[in-house]
Structure 1
């Protein structure tokens, strides 16, 4: 019967990733949950972003990220490493309490620059793009 297709059905958790670049910095807005199933989508976006631009500062808008597991944190660390190799940096902005707690428990809040909110300079530059 249809047992083969039913076995692969996992609750669909959507992850939306959008990017916008302005004068040497890129804001990556992430919406949803970052976990084992959705992390490859985020990894693919970082690969695309790093492959096509000379962006030196990437700021992750995590205000709409409800959950991030160790797989997601590994994707963020990998992107940070790749940016640092090019002289750039990756910053985290507006993490929700659950994500902030993961950053604190793992010690990654001292690895990433973490902003309570989206930096004002990035908000004002949006309209100039």
Structure 2
């Protein structure tokens, strides 16, 4: 399955929406989108996972490295609305205590 990634930015806030399967083959697409936002000085990034049906360790590593880079410059990084399968992976790996996980994607004004 493919992974579609789209971004919406407003000031230093950005929402990245991923839809599909996040795995070894598709993770570079998400990584590129996140790297682009980091270059554009986004300090507050939310990754909307509501459309992600599957995420493997490669996908988790992409999210982890982006979170570390954002937090390293004093920003915030959140995972929004993960499905049950992705939430279970976060819990099994203990990453649910590492990531900030919110139930809904925050609305961007504008």
Question: Following superposition of structure 1 onto structure 2, how do residues 1-12 of structure 1 map, counting pairs within 5 Å?
Answer: none
Residue 46 of structure 1: how far off its partner (Å): 1.3
TM-score (norm 2): 0.94
Match of 2:12 in 1: 24
Residue from 34, 41, 60 that aligns with 1:54: 41
Q: Return 5+ residue gaps in structure 2 as ranges.
A: none
More strand by percentage: 2
Q: Return 5+ residue gaps in structure 1 as ranges.
A: 1-12
Name the larger-Rg structure.
Answer: 1
Question: Following superposition of structure 1 onto structure 2, how do residues 59-70 of structure 1 map, counting pairs within 5 Å?
Answer: 59-70=46-57
Match of 2:86 in 1: 99
2:77 counterpart SS class: strand
TM-score (norm 1): 0.81
More helix by percentage: 1
Superimposed CA distance per residue, residues 16-47 of structure 1 (whole angstroms, 9 cap, x where no aligned partner): 11111123210000001000110111111111
